[in-house]
Amino acid sequence: MEWIYLLIAGIMEWGWPMGLKYAWTEKGFQIVPAAFAIVSILLSGFFLFLAQRELPVGTAYAVWVGIGAVGTFFLGIYLLGEPTHLLRFVFLGFIIVGIVGLKLVSS
pLDDT tens-digit map of 51-101: 999 999 999 999 999 999 999 999 999 999 999 999 999 999 999 999 899
Decide if 10 contacts 64 (C-beta within 8 A): yes
Alpha carbon distance 63, 93 (integer Å): 14
* C-alpha 16 chain-centroid distance: 9
Host H or E run for residue 29: strand 28-29
User: Has residue 107 got a pLDDT over 90?
Assistant: no
Query: Full-prediction pTM beyond 0.85?
Result: yes
Collapsing DSSP states into helix, strand and coil, what is residue 51? helix
